[in-house]
Amino acid sequence: MDFDDPEQAIRKSWSVNAAAWTAAVRGKRIPSRAAGTDAAIVNACMRLRPRRALDVGCGEGWLARALAQMGVAVLGIDGSCELSAEARGAGGGSFQQLDFSSLVRDPTQAAGPWDVIVCNYVLFTASLAPLLTALGRRLAPAGRLLIQTVHPWTAIGDGAYAPGWREETFAGFGAEFPSPMPWYFRTLQTWSEEVTRADLAIVRIEEPMNRETGKPLSLILECAARPLAWP
């Protein structure tokens, strides 16, 4: 992998890949989503009976629209101008263009307090604690942060079970993606460490299953703000 500045490369990829991504999501061409990860994150959100939800890295906005249709007041935020425009164009929620680095500098831009803050396949960088800390501070007292991500035991591929940068080529997403994207592979232990570093605690883990293969489709972490006295 040859990315001098992976964080910049991630941002750029969501600009140049916006049209292909929108087509893949709206055309339901991503197999893992059709197999259950879309339903799993909607169910994980709705189980918490939120009145207000923040969809972080909302992309073209499908999840915000799905939650809004069920009566949740949703704000979708995303750093990609192109994807934010796609989301606004489709309507069905409120959408704002906002990069995570800007949100970390001034967390009040994420408004709140939110009953649910959801990150559906958006946490790609090596250091997550600053963003997760900022998001944790926008939660309502009993609010929850939901993270859906690739399951480390199926995403491991041929690599070692160790954290490190990998490359996503978007092969198999049913559309031509102009740019690959770097992403940071995490083990279960390093997910837990990153969440803890952000003063959050994992209160529930879900592993949505692919019924055909018997393997996990994804990992869902439900996190709560940690009481200050927690060790």
Smallest gap from residue 59 Cβ to ligand SAM (A): 3
Q: Closer CB to ligand SAM, residue 89 or residue 189?
A: 89
Choose between 216 and 228: whose C-beta lies nearer to ligand SAM: 216
Q: How many residues does the chain have?
A: 231
Tokens of 45: 């959100």
Dihedral of the alpha carbons of 75, 80, 81, 87, in degrees to the nearest 10: -40
Minimum CB separation of residue 62 from ligand SAM in Å reads 6
In the complex with ligand SAM, which residue's Cβ is closer, 62 or 184?
62
Cβ proximity to ligand SAM, 20 vs 63, nearer residue: 63
Q: How far is the CB of 197 from ligand SAM (least distance, A)?
A: 18
Q: In whole angstroms, give the CA distance from residue 161 to residue 33.
A: 24
DSSP class of residue 34 equals I
**Residues making contact with ligand SAM (CB under 6 A):** 10-11, 14, 25, 57-59, 62-63, 78-80, 83, 99-100, 120-122
Rounded least distance, CB 118 to ligand SAM, Å: 8
Q: How far is the CB of 225 from ligand SAM (least distance, A)?
A: 22
Contact 195, 202 (CB under 8 A): yes
Q: Considering beta carbons, is residue 99 or 199 the nearer one to ligand SAM?
A: 99
Provide the b/e sequence for 5-36 (b: ≥16 CB within 10 Å). Answer: ebbebbbebbeebbbbbbebbeeeebebbebb
